[in-house]
Every structure is written in C-alpha cells, then in structure tokens.
Amino acid sequence: MIAARILIVEDDRIVARDIQHQVSRMGHVVVGLSASGEEAVRLAGSHQPDLVLMDIRLEGEMDGIEAARRIRDAQRIPVVFLTAYANDDVVQRASLTEPFGYLLKPLEEPQMRTVIQMALYKQASDAKLRMSERRYAATLASIRDGVILCDRDGRVDFMNRVAEAMTGWTAAEAAGRPLTAVFVAVDEETLEPQEDFSALVRRSGALAPPERLSRLLPRGEAGESTRTELTGTELTGIVVEERCSAIIDDRGEVAGAILVFSDLTQRRQIAETLRKAQTDLARISRLTMMGELAAAVAHEVNQPLMAIITNAGTCLQRLSQPEPDLGKTRAVAERIVRDAQRAGDVVRSIHALARRTPADPGWVDVNALVVETLALVRAELRRARIALETDLQAGPSRVHGDRVQLQQLVLNLVMNAIEAMAAPDLPLRRLRIVTASGDGGISVRVEDSGPGIAESDPDVLFRAFYTTKPSGLGMGLSISRSIVELHGGRLTATPGTPCGSVFEFVLPPSPGET
Ligand code: ADP
C-alpha cells in the first residue's frame, strides 16, 4: 500500500472527523482539515498533499468543484470527490476537473481504501508519463534532425523545431494536415515526386525500412513540383536523408509513423572541401616531388657534365696542335663517352629513386665500387691537393643493390669531402675511405680533414635543399640518405678526430654473405 499525505475538505465536522479516523487507520497521514473551498486551495498550496478528498457542497462562495479546478491547475494534486448526490449534472461538471475518483456518502471504509489507492496509483503513473513526455520533448528539441510524427491516417500530430525550420511550417499550422502537404519531397536524382514515406511504412508496418535521399522543397512549391518544372539551376530545396518508422500500439497495430530527416547540405559541403583539400595536397606533393627530382637531376648530372666539358676542351686543344697525338686524343674522347653514359645512368637511377624502387638490383662489390668511384675524382683530388688514403677491409664485400645508385652515394660523399677541404688556409687535406664488414653489414666511412659539421644537429644536413654553399643545391645528402634507406641501411654524420667530419653508411648483410 502507498502511504500518502491527505487533505480532507468537508463542511460537516462530524463527517470530517469520521473520514480522518478512517484515513489514519489505513496508514495515511492527514495534513489538514478544511470546511471551505478557499481554505482548501490555500492549504493545498502550503501543505502540498498527495491527495485531496473533496466534498462538492461546501461552506462559503467556492464549491468543491471550483476548488478542485484551482488545485489541479496550480499544483496538479489529484482530487477525489465526496458526494451524496450522484446526479448527472453535478458529476458532469465535476468530471471537467478530471477527478481521480468519486466516493459516495455515507462513506464505507473498503470502498474508500480502494478509491484512495487507485487515485494514488494513477497519480504516480501520470507523473511517470509526464516525465517520460518531458524527456521525449527535450530529446526532440535538442537533436539536429527534423522529426514529424503522424497518426495512422498520415496526418501531422507533432513536429519539432528543426522540422519547422526545414519545412517552413509551424507545428500549430501543420497539425492535422496530411504529411504530404507539409513535407513535400522529390527524388534527389530524377526529381520525380516522392511517395509518402509514412504511407509506405504504415502499409507495411515496417519498423525501419532503408533510408532514402530526397530533395525537400520549400513551402510554397508544394504541389507544383514536377520533373518538368524543376530543372538545372531552378533546383531549390535542401537535400535530406529520410528515415521513417512505424509506431505500433499495444495491440500490435500501426498507430502512426515517425519521419526523421537530416539536412545533408553541410555534410556534403564538408566532404567536398575535404576532397578538394586532398586533391590540392596531391598536386602540391607532386609539384614538390617534381622540384626535388629536377634539383636531384641537376645536382647529380653536374659532376659528369663538368668532366665532359673539361675533357672536350682537352680534346679540342690536342686536335688543334700541328701533329695531334691521336692515341691520347682518342683516350680523352673515350672518357667523354664514358661520362656521358654515366650521366644517362644517373638520370635513370634518380628516376627509379623517385619511384622508390632499386632501378637495377644486382650484386655489387663495395670495395670495387669505392675504387671505381675514386677513379672518377682523381683529377679533382689532384687539383685540390688532397692526400687520399684507403683502408678497404670489407672481407666478402658484396651487397645486393643498385650499382649506379650506390656509386652516386659514394661519389656524393667524396665530392662533399673534397668541397669541405676547399678553403686555401687548411693545414691538412686528407681524404680517408674505410670499408669494413661485420655482423651489422658492410660499412663505408668517408673521413675528411675539413672544418667539420657546422650544425649541432647533424640530421639537418640531410634535409632536401639544405646547403651552406653559395652555388649548392642541398640535394646531395638528401639523395644519399634516400639511396641508403632504399637499400635497408642507414647513413650518419659525426665529427671527425681531431678535425673534419665522418660520413658513414652501413648496408645490411646480404643473404648468404655473412
Ligand atoms: P650541397 O653539397 O649542394 O650543399 P648536400 O646535401 O650534399 O648539398 O650537403 C648539404 C650541406 O651539408 C652542405 O652545404 C654542407 O654545409 C654540409 N656538408 C656536407 N658534407 C660535409 C662535409 N664533409 N663536411 C662539412 N659539412 C658538410
């Protein structure tokens, strides 16, 4: 049993006392006794009882029906009427106040007990219902989707604020109208009028059929929207995604439908912006790559080109002598051909590097590679008066990789070492190349006695376009690192002892070569 706080309104004091005793025996608490309507309204306000037992005939101006109406309007406190006359007139007037029950006088305890329990139970379930309605109302008001509820005949019952804004109808105007008059939609692509989604759902009783894309036409274009009238630039309205579910009652029958629709305009704009940003990014990275590629080609081809120009000059000089030594001239011409071929190979290998695949993988003897590369720079070393030392200890020195790329790598490091020792006041000019092999793979060290690395973080040197040379491109070390990484190795720069710098790369041992 629910124990409740009860207000008794009865002008016959004896009856009032009697009711008070009965109610107390039932376990309830009587919070007040009143003989007039005016006082009852006041006591209801100050005591906030759970239930009012209200006689219809009362002392004073205000009768019980009027007092009950005021209490209901102000506090929603349930009222049970007590009456000796159950004539139609009185009951009809009383029922307008939505009472929770009637008790006929003289009052009998079992009847009173049941009516009070029923009233309290109904009040509790009404409160629950009101709470649940408030929850739904708050949910519907806060979501960004439009929501329209319609009854079993497809007439609008309710619509939330978003639906009002999107359709151009207010909920009050739309109430009772067919959904098709308020929500006018055409197929997004064909622009054919869309069939009433709620009718489909109500017919099939489906709870959640697949969503569909429609163009929701603004109010005013309703009814006039056909394929012929709406074309191209005249296209109005917003694209929405519609979902519709049937509302099923306790008997399992379709009581209506709920239509939920979301505006896709913003979502599509975001997707379009994203797509554009991705395209721009792809274009920029292509341009950057092309720029790096062009710079790489310029850098790597420069060395053989310089050699070609020098040798071509020598060739012409020899040929202009009265009795040219054709044997020697031929040797110089052959060097021109060799350098030109190397330039071609370099271009091909850079192209492969850009695609990040070894151009022509095969077995490469690292010691032999170092010797061949040094042969290419012999003239430069002589001109710069640099002493060359080699310490080629790599035992079985084969690695699997691309010969041209690996030669470029060694050449870049050697040329950088030569350039680092270009200052005229340098006390010592020494280039030392050391190869070694061990468990970690094969390593090649290029040591110079130049001024050393200017940066505290040597990694900066490997960035594309980083250079400290007036006519430098800043690509040599960046390409070199790419080559080493493509071969699964690593390239580092450290200060030399007692001076200069050491550039070392280690290539992983090849299968079967350890
Ligand atoms: P570039 O030679 O065109 O400048 P690199 O990428 O080959 O481009 O080298 C980048 C920079 O790294 C050089 O400008 C230089 O400052 C530094 N650097 C490279 N090698 C050495 C070296 N052996 N000793 C000192 N600094 C070096």
Tens-digit pLDDT profile for residues 401-425: 988 889 889 999 999 999 999 998 8
**Start-end of H helices in 30-108:** 37-47, 64-75, 88-95
Enclosing H/E stretch for 314? helix 265-319
User: Is pLDDT above 80 for 67?
Assistant: yes
232 phi, psi to nearest 5 deg = 40, -120
Q: Distances in Å between the alpha carbon of 396 and those of 371, 401, 407, 437?
A: 15, 15, 18, 8
Instruction: Determine whether 96 is exposed, middle or buried from the number of CB atoms within 10 Å of its CB (0-12, 13-18, 19+).
Output: exposed
In a 3-state reduction of DSSP, which class is residue 2? Answer: coil
Centre of ligand 1 to C-alpha 477, Å, is 7
Centre of ligand 1 to C-alpha 444, Å, is 18
User: Is pLDDT above 50 for 492?
Assistant: yes
Q: Which carries the bigger pLDDT value, residue 447 or residue 276?
A: 447
How many Å apart are CA 148 and CA 171, to the nearest integer?
9
Tens-digit pLDDT profile for residues 87-146: 777 778 888 888 888 888 888 888 899 999 999 998 889 889 999 989 988 998 899 899
The number of the ligand 1 atom at minimal distance from the alpha carbon of 474 is 8
Tens-digit pLDDT profile for residues 286-310: 666 667 777 777 888 888 899 999 9
For position 64, what pLDDT does the model report? 93
How many Å apart are CA 384 and CA 378, to the nearest integer?
10
Ligand 1-lining residues (CB < 6 angstroms): 412, 416-417, 420, 448, 450, 453-454, 461, 466-469, 472-478, 501
Centre of ligand 1 to C-alpha 247, Å, is 75
Tens-digit pLDDT profile for residues 333-373: 999 999 999 888 878 777 776 666 666 788 999 999 999 89
For position 514, what pLDDT does the model report? 44
How many Å apart are CA 508 and CA 398, to the nearest integer?
10
pLDDT > 70: percent of the chain: 91
CA dihedral 338, 344, 345, 351 (to 10 degrees): 170
Nearest residue (by CA) to ligand 1, atom 8, is 474
pTM (whole model) above 0.75: no
Whether 147 contacts 32, CB under 8 Å: no
Pocket test for ligand 1, best of 477, 481, 501 (most atoms within 8 A of CB): 477
